[in-house]
Chains A and B, each alone.
Chain A
Amino acid sequence: MSPAIELIAINKSFGTVHANKDVNLRVERGTIHGIVGENGAGKSTLMSILYGFYEADSGEVHVNGKTISIRSPNDAIHAGIGMVHQHFMLVEPLSVVDNVMLGAEGGAMLRAGEAKARAELARLARDYGLEIDVDATVGDLSVGLQQRVEILKALYRGADILILDEPTAVLTPAEADALFGLLRSLKEQGKTVILITHKLREIMAITDRVSVMRRGEMVATVETANTSPPELAELMVGRRVLLRVEKAEKAPGAPLLEIDTMSVVDSRGVVRVANASFTVHAGEIVGIAGVAGNGQSELLEAIAGMRHPALGSIRLEGRAIPLSERNPHRMRQLGLLHVPEDRLRMGLVPAFPAFESAILGFSDEPHLGRGPILDHDRLIADLAKKMEQYDVRPPAPRLKSSKFSGGNQQKIVLAREIERNPKVLLVGQPTRGVDIGAIEFIHRRLISLRDAGVAILLVSVELDEIMNLSDRILTMCGGRITGERKASETNEQDLGLLMAGVTDEAA
């Protein structure tokens, strides 16, 4: 039997960047095939070529044994390829059925096609358990259901080969499990699934085979049963990587950050955080787990003094912080430093050279210059030293902040905050968009800070990260803290339930 997809010697360059170098890929029919690689390894480019978003500079595409040329998404759809993009390609104000029909309306008038679409959606719901309210407005659906609409779109167009790009990034663990169940049933019906992800756990759980990309090249394709996460990580990075940072048991010290009944209401009057109370001790990492958008970001910003008014009280080292002092500048002076979630929006100024981004928020420190005049040579020398310590690549202080990769940008931000000797460190999504190698580095750094007695509050949507780093874990759902666990006494299922709002009392 010929493979569902065979790519031969695919090349694609964007300017000077060689995004795909002689890439070969063979995906057998009726299998789930994983593609892993660091950010910028060329996975998305390769899939975009397969879906007709880009044209390859050279190389051949075979689908079901036939050489075809895919110049547009239309060609891909005709060849039976469907794609679920990481950022959904949905029209939010339109209904589910309108979204499904878009581009495959079946005639100039909508009415005739709509009846057919409804019947087909009902069939897909029956066959695959893809139930959905077809008249619902897509923008009102949960993220999990929106993803379901994307899958329905592909199946409605008769896709035999389904490409999913980082499908679980926005899902709760329970939703992710449901998705995997669906992928398995698709496979049983003979469909071929290509899964792009950076979560090795998912690769191990669901794929039959996995291909690894590194710097634009396809470095290996292996049977999932014959490999392991450490081996895959090593293939991705090109060197040995510790996936799990070792940390010693440590008794927490004095309470450094105490939050009492904090609530946050946003500008539209929506309650984002409701009555959060917790404490972070010296030498302790407290992780806040939750699906994105459940109030963690707002909580972090409120503690950092970025949101007003935040109800409730904050105590730092036992001292109640009055409202008048709750601004980011004062909080930093008091020893509460913050690595914000969105480094491009809040952590640095993308258009500034790195050495300017590296003093954001601290530019009035007297040692940085004379009076109002900044000493550039000194800033550059300072950052050069830090870049060495934090292994920032390239070690070029004058380079524009936006030119660094995500991981290196994050290291610059981290270095800036950590160098100010925090007592309490707030960290939001420290490894979002960061390569595996840099993740390891950042994790080690955070652990060593904890060992040095810093109180760390960590917010992350990556459950693995929370479980690896934290001593204690709080879960948030709908703005409420729904549970608290010691990291050593919980597991993913347990946390997943709490993140979905199933509280201890209810259970």
Chain B
Amino acid sequence: MDLSSLVTVFDSALRLSIPLLAACLAGLWSERSGVVDIGLEGKMLVAAFAAAAAAYAFGSAWIGLIAGIGASVVFGLIHGFASISQRGNQIVSGVAINMLAAGLTAIVGNAWYAQGGRTPPLEGVQRFGDALFGHSALVYIVLLAVPLTWFVLGRTRFGLRLRAVGENPAAVDTAGISVTGLRYTAVIIGGVLCGIGGTYLSVGQSAGFLPNMTAGKGFIALAALIFAKWRAWPALGACFLFGLLDAIAIRLQGISLPGIGEVPVQAIQALPYLMTVILLAGVIGKAIPPRAAGVPYVKER
């Protein structure tokens, strides 16, 4: 592989890792506050649909972004209401979010546009074009979210409280701080990030919405989150690694390797998933989640 193709692979790795990174950071905020979020996939999907639909209707990518974020936050709040206010099971609620998103986007899309669930293709100002070095503004927004997350969590009052509430909400409660308020805030931040990630998929990376276009990215992001042990900078590394694997997989298609011959497309496509399993199974050592993650807070008698 020469230098220019190396650059190409890295470039495409960055592109592919952006939606992962957005979802991963969303999961980070949510889970550091103690709310397990397996609905990342669903939130990205509704955001992708809402963004494409709004961008098409209003002829503006930025309005698409706002719509995407709005839709994702609404779904985040549904999850928040179920798991924070109603103290429901967070896994069940997350699964429901994913199923609702998959079904709703397909049905509404078909009803509105009658193109098998797709939105009409977006062009010109309906999409995020290249802003800098061949990447769109959304790429930089998501990359910027990494140091921002790191700083806010580590250096601010809000961050300290958020980290505390994910470990021991009773300690936060007795310190006179609202557990519910903190967790809702975290869920909303997660919704915003998923919204950006979903918008990037339909209005940045491609030109329109396709049914189920998230294709498991929300779940890979969850894996990356564990891989990164719920920390911002390692999340960037983990997501880029998964993006790189994806990019290599695309690059390897149709190429015959010495001694093996042409590798079947399916085997190459399975590579990122295989890597995920291997990484999670042992390489990274013990990843300890926030202690209160997944546990609704109930005041003890």
Contacts and interface: CB of A to CB of B under 8 A. Distances in A.
Residue of B161, B173, B175, B301 with most partner-chain A CB within 10 A: B175
A91 B173 contact: no
A109 interface: yes
B291 A102 contact: no
A73 B167 contact: no
Given A92-B291, A98-B160, A109-B155, A103 B175 contact: yes
A131 interface: no
Contacts of B171: 89-91, 99, 102
Contacts of A507: none
A280 B291 CA distance: 42
B176 interface: yes
Contacts of A74: 176
A222 interface: no
B173 A110 contact: no
A455 interface: no
A147 B153 CA distance: 26
B291 A73 contact: no
A464 B161 CA distance: 41
B172 A102 contact: yes
Contacts of A104: 175
A89 B170 contact: yes
A23 B131 CA distance: 70
A103 B170 contact: no
Given A92-B168, A94-B167, A102-B164, A108 B301 contact: no
Nearest to A111: B155
B51 to A, nearest CB: 32
A148 interface: no
Nearest to B167: A91
A436 interface: no
Contacts of B174: 51, 53, 73, 83, 85, 89
B15 interface: no
A322 interface: no
B175 A89 contact: yes
A72 interface: yes
Contacts of B170: 87, 89
A72 B157 CA distance: 20
Contacts of A87: 170
Contact of B158 (A89, A90, A101, A108): A108
Contact size range, A: 20 to 34
Contact of A77 (B160, B161, B176): B176
Contact of A90 (B160, B163, B168, B176): B168
Nearest to A17: B301
Interface string B170-191: 1111111100000000000000
Contact of A108 (B156, B167, B172, B173): B156
Contacts of A72: 176
Interface in B67-90: none
B164 A94 contact: yes
Contacts of A90: 168, 171
B299 A91 contact: no
A14 B173 contact: no
Contacts of A99: 171
Interface string A202-213: 000000000000
Contacts of B173: 73, 89
Contact of A92 (B156, B167, B172, B301): B167
A69 to B, nearest CB: 15
B34 to A, nearest CB: 12
A372 interface: no
Given A103-B172, A108-B156, A109-B155, A94 B177 contact: no
A111 B291 CA distance: 26
A105 interface: yes
A52 B174 CA distance: 9
A113 B160 CA distance: 12
A74 B299 CA distance: 16
Contacts of A91: 163-164, 167-168, 171
Contacts of B159: 110
A457 B190 CA distance: 55
A99 B164 CA distance: 9
Given A14-B301, A73-B173, A108-B158, 11 more contacts: A77-B176, A85-B174, A89-B171, A92-B291, A93-B167, A101-B160, A102-B164, A102-B172, A103-B177, A107-B157, A109-B157
16 contacts: A73-B176, A87-B170, A89-B168, A89-B170, A89-B173, A91-B163, A93-B163, A94-B163, A94-B164, A102-B160, A102-B177, A108-B156, A108-B157, A108-B158, A110-B159, A111-B155
Closest 3 CB pairs of A and B: A103-B175, A74-B176, A105-B157
